[in-house]
Structure 1
Amino acid sequence: MTQNAIAGAMAGIGEHCIMYPVDSIRTRMQVLSAAELNTAVKNASKQYLRGQQRHLWKGVYSVVVGAGPAHAIHFATYEFCKEKFNRFFDQQLNLKSPSDNNKSIVISPQLLASGTAGAIATFAHDGLMTPFDVIKQRMQMRDSVYRSVRECAKTVYRTEGLKAFYISFPTTVSMSIPFQSVQFATYEYCRTLLDPEGTYNPKAHMLAGAIAGAVASSVTTPLDVVKTLLQTKGSSNDAQIKNTSGFKEAVSIIYSRHGVKGFFRGFKPRVLTNMPSTAISWSVYEYFKWFLASK
């Protein structure tokens, strides 16, 4: 578990930091109005191409501080639970008659074990990471006035209280559990196809991670839009958004203003962020797990 925790910490930091500028654009696309959106995205793209992307990195230190321990807990819990669930399902399979042990039954328990372990690990991860994610998204906003992570955290706590750091927790968990369950199950399935022997295979880990990230981020984008609105409402100039009390009201605001399409705002940058970041995360994780085990 120590090896898994260290490898997970390195994977989390690498995953979030490398794709951070694209994630900043995703946040802005989800919180800005349609008129502001086109201008903001164009300006961000021009500044990024010109090498003036410093503003897109605002809040990255919050991710560095939070992602390390959160992902350490995440991957250590995942590996521990996956091993337990795999053992349980193997015992269940042994109780079946030989004629029942066809290919579909062999695969399904493995996917179920991975998905369930991913859900449990996600709950532990989000409990630690959500406050840091709130700070990150406040600093990613186009009109953010915070100069440091510490200043942002102190201001949010002073003006909105401790509740502000966890107001999106139910939505975060309701999004992250299906996201991580789909991601882990898809990754394990693709990895077994690409690398049946289960050896350290960087290409297989990277490709399986990219596919898993694309699939998981696609199906959970609507919940991510709601989460972003709740996490950034304290910095909004819109009175209705600023006074949003929870999930249902946030959904109502998005639907009334943008319709069904509003729940897919930021879809492309979200997928473009999660494909490489998940590939990076699994590649770094599998490398450090292999490296630490070999040493």
Structure 2
Amino acid sequence: MELALAYPAIKAFMCGSLSGTCSTLLFQPLDLVKTRLQTLQGGVQPSSGRVGMLTVLQSVVRTERLLGLWKGVSPSFVRTIPGVGIYFSTYYSLKQHYFQDGIPGPMEAVLLGAGARGAAAVVMLPVTVVKTRFECGRYSYRSVGGALRSVCQTEGPAALFSGLMATLLRDVPFSGIYVMFYSQTKASLPKEIRLSPSAPLANFCCGILSGVLASLITQPADVVKTHVQVNPGLRTAEAIRYIYTAHGLQGYFRGAVPRSLRRTMMAAMAWTVYEQMMARLGLKS
């Protein structure tokens, strides 16, 4: 029985990893811009999300060339490929175990999404710390492995789990809210659309709407997480105070535009690819 459940979960892991690979490669520049905005790299002082985003894009291309927009893509791959795989395999296993004969309701969908994301976030947090540092431009790490060793040697192993609370406060609610909105909006689609060839496009649109709502709600936690992981020794409570003192309430929404674009598009693409691949493998996602 356990083997029968494990085999589909492995397929879900593979489908999730592939969807994460595609979305990471496409949207890494948005993640880099978001991190630079939040840490105010290069003296950039954006007056608004849109202007700040364009200013950072131009600055990176001018000083680091076009490929500079993909700085940090290596740790992003190391984090996302297994991370999204863990997320979807955990989600699939939980759903099959608790809701094999029924459709999860709104609150049940929140718990499924939150539980799956919590597991993936904790496991992949060390790579998330390294990824954030790669993107901020303050560190000169040459490889993911070298960065992990450097952090352990200079700051101690505990530094690899810096920002754990802020990460969980960002990722767990995001995933729970996203899955709830996504499952409910998808279920509300007319049957003729759900069974038509345009169903993947309709699901993608549902994912975009869900991603925007979830991103905006969890944006402050993302800003706090970035500051904690980029500044060794800074605690979550201290980061919250610093952001408010330095930038006011609007400081908690720095980088909201690129993050919303990236998280929304990544989540929508990941879920669309995952569901299509699972369907081709004859499994119910």
TM beyond 0.5: yes
Bigger Rg, structure 1 or 2? 1
**2-structure distance, mates of 1:47, 1:254:** 24
The answer for unaligned runs of 5 or more in structure 1 is 91-106, 235-242
**1-structure distance, mates of 2:45, 2:159:** 25
How do 1:164-243 and structure 2 match up within 5 A? 164-194=159-189, 196=191, 199=195, 201-234=199-232, 243=233
* Residues 259 and 190 (structure 1), Cα distance of their counterparts in 2 relative to 1, 3 Å cut: same
How do 1:105-120 and structure 2 match up within 5 A? 110-120=105-115
AA matched with 2:262: T
Q: Which residue in the other structure is 1:123 paired with? A: 118
1:23 aligns with 2:31: yes
Deviations 1:1-38 (A, max 9, x none): 22211111112222222100111000010011794345
Identity %: 30
User: Is the contact between residue 12 and residue 71 of structure 1 (CA under 8 Å) also seen in structure 2?
Assistant: yes
Q: Output the TM-score relative to the length of structure 2.
A: 0.85
How do 1:42-61 and structure 2 match up within 5 A? 42=55, 44-45=57-58, 48=61, 52-61=65-74
**1-structure distance, mates of 2:127, 2:45:** 25
Offset at residue 149 of structure 1 (A): 2.1
* Residues 293 and 137 (structure 1), Cα distance of their counterparts in 2 relative to 1, 3 Å cut: same
**1-structure distance, mates of 2:223, 2:154:** 24
Offset at residue 84 of structure 1 (A): 4.0
Deviations 1:212-252 (A, max 9, x none): 11111110000000000011113xxxxxxxx42x2111111
User: Is the contact between residue 53 and residue 258 of structure 2 (CA under 8 Å) also seen in structure 1?
Assistant: no
- Name the SS of the counterpart of 2:105 in structure 1: helix
Match of 1:158 among 150, 153, 167: 153
Aligned length: 267
Q: Which residue in the other structure is 1:103 paired with? A: none
User: Is the contact between residue 32 and residue 69 of structure 2 (CA under 8 Å) also seen in structure 1?
Assistant: yes
**2-structure distance, mates of 1:86, 1:186:** 18
* Residues 221 and 43 (structure 1), Cα distance of their counterparts in 2 relative to 1, 3 Å cut: closer
- Name the SS of the counterpart of 2:281 in structure 1: helix
Q: Once superposed, what is the RMSD of the aligned Cα atoms?
A: 2.6
Q: Which residue in the other structure is 1:240 paired with? A: none
The answer for unaligned runs of 5 or more in structure 2 is 1-8, 47-51
1:5 aligns with 2:21: no
Deviation larger for 263-272 or 3-12: 3-12
Deviation beyond 6 Å, 4+ runs, structure 1: none
